[in-house]
Amino acid sequence: MTSTFPAPAWWDPTRPVPDVRTELPGPRAREVLAADAAVTSPSLPRAYPMVPWRGHGAALEDPDGNLFLDFNAGIAVNSTGHSHPRVVAAVREQAENLLHYSASDFYLPIYSQMCSALAEVAPMSGPTRVFLTNSGAEGVEGALKLARYASGRPYVIAFQGAFHGRTYGAVSLTASKAKYHTGFGPLLPGILHAPYAFAQRHPQTGERSHDPEQTFDYLENVLFRHQVSPTEVAAVFVEPIQGEGGYIVPPVEWMVRLRELCDRYGILLVADEVQCGMGRTGKMWAIEHTGVEPDVLITAKGLASGLPLGGFVARAELMESWGAGSHGSTYGGSPVPCAAGLATLETIRAEGLLAHATEVGDFLLSRLAELPARFPGLVTDVRGIGLMIGVEFRTAEQAEAAQQRSFERGLLVLECGETTVRMSPPLVVSLDQAKTALDLFGAVLAELAG
């Protein structure tokens, strides 16, 4: 990585990271928590009482002056780290010129520039077109509309364990936890779910809990035989690596077979790369590890280093099937997020962050792979690619305790699935910071084992 990542004026380079100086949460953080509790929706699923105040690279400071090593990056959003100077400069320059005008009704130069930049890195070999959104869920909604419109077919398949968002169409595709559906039915009709290629171990026995063959047996011999004809299926939505479902990495052969199945029946393959894309796995898109090309790709989260920007890229003939007014967005692709998105893509390229994510990720995985043998009563599996890593525990209680104890020591990690703790630091995380995170996480596990 070539960047020295210039420090902001407030940053003290002599302080170690992390550096927890108060009881957590501290007095100023508790004031924020009290104010929050009085006015915000209780639906917000807060993980632990972390109050981000300002950040630099892979470090965060809270209002009490405590420093944390950020290994969740705002749920895999702050791809270039906190307040990367290249991104900050682009945002400042754009904000001084034009804050907003709707690209849905007018022609914004930076909108088409952002679309061109995404098209250039899209994992499709032919011409593509791009639609920009505010979020991943909006990208899923748009891709869902496009798939039905372009194919003329009503049904869509997603997978058990999938997370595609919380808006109505997206949450209908989501199947990672029943709580996301509870109280909101009936959901969008025409959504079907099949088993994912589960590549995690059973939390109690340590054995592989599902056979990848189950996916295709279910699709061919159950779903297509008894429920819907494959000729009526518009699309299969798939996370090339499941995120919220537990950081599950399917075998390459599974994705290849899924592409073949879609081709056999004229079904569109939609890759949801909201969490696993934008360089997190050491390639720009996780599906590139398989050699498979999707028909539609959805992106968001790390696309603009923390500003609200998402989008979906589709083969040109698909996007050209719908006309003016078929889809739009007032804020999607607004100038300031687009400026951040262009700066993010340039930063990933100029600073070699794909290779860097592979290097640091391989180091982390090699060390974390020792945990099941060191702590057999706690850890059953370690899996991932690049800087998308899951550590699976035997019980949900152990995973929750590891998440909480890590926070107390100044390491920010986050649960996913039922028994997994995810590590998804910014792509700029240094090797020294990775070593610190390993030491802290190891101390947490030793404390829990003791």
Average pLDDT, the chain: 95
Tell me the average pLDDT across 3-18. Answer: 84
114, 71: one domain: no
Position 198 scores a pLDDT of 73
190, 288: one domain: yes
Separation between Cα atoms, residue 327 and residue 389, nearest integer Å: 36
257 inside domain: yes
| 166, burial (CB in 10 Å: exposed 0-12, middle 13-18, buried 19+) | middle
Position 450 scores a pLDDT of 87
7 inside domain: no
Total Cβ atoms within 10 A of residue 48? 15
First to last CA, the chain: 39
Q: Which helix or strand (DSSP H or E) is residue 393 part of?
A: strand 388-393
pLDDT single digits (tens) 15-29: 999 999 999 999 999
287, 317: one domain: yes
Question: Is-contact 138 167, C-beta < 8 A?
Answer: yes
159, 301: one domain: yes
406, 324: one domain: no
Separation between Cα atoms, residue 131 and residue 419, nearest integer Å: 36
pLDDT single digits (tens) 31-77: 999 999 999 999 999 999 999 999 999 999 999 999 999 999 999 99
443 inside domain: yes
Separation between Cα atoms, residue 303 and residue 306, nearest integer Å: 8
234, 278: one domain: yes
4 inside domain: no
Separation between Cα atoms, residue 71 and residue 267, nearest integer Å: 37
174, 97: one domain: yes
214, 96: one domain: yes
Considering its fold, how many domains does the chain have in total? 2
pLDDT single digits (tens) 125-182: 999 999 999 999 999 999 999 999 999 999 999 999 999 999 999 999 999 999 999 9
Q: Higher-confidence residue: 357 or 197?
A: 357
SS3 115: helix
User: CA distances (Å), 246 to each of 215, 403, 442, 447, in order?
Assistant: 18, 14, 20, 24
143, 265: one domain: yes
Tell me the average pLDDT across 425-432. Answer: 98
Dihedral, CA atoms, 208, 214, 216, 219, nearest 10 degrees? -140
76, 150: one domain: no
- Per-residue b or e along 16-26, where b marks 16 or more CB atoms closer than 10 Å to that residue's CB: ebbebeeebbb
216, 270: one domain: yes
Q: Where does a domain end: 350, 377, 405?
A: 350
6 inside domain: no
Question: Is-contact 62 54, C-beta < 8 A?
Answer: no
Q: Where does a domain end: 299, 332, 350?
A: 350
Tell me the average pLDDT across 323-340. Answer: 96
Residue 401: CATH number of its domain? 3.90.1150.10
Position 201 scores a pLDDT of 59
Position 2 scores a pLDDT of 46
Give the domain range for residue 99.
Answer: 87-350
pLDDT single digits (tens) 79-135: 999 999 999 999 999 999 999 999 999 999 999 999 999 999 999 999 999 999 999
Residue 155: CATH number of its domain? 3.40.640.10
70 inside domain: yes
12 inside domain: no
Per the DSSP assignment, residues forming a β-bridge with 59 are 56, 69
25-29, 198-202, 370-374, 419-423: the lowest-pLDDT one: 198-202
> Would the pTM of this model clear 0.85, i.e. be above it?
yes
Amino acid at 395: T
Q: Where does a domain end: 350, 380, 400?
A: 350
9 inside domain: no
Position 1 scores a pLDDT of 46
45, 128: one domain: no
- Per-residue b or e along 350-371, where b marks 16 or more CB atoms closer than 10 Å to that residue's CB: ebebbebbbbbbeebbebbeeb
Which residue's entry shows tokens 């518009």? 234
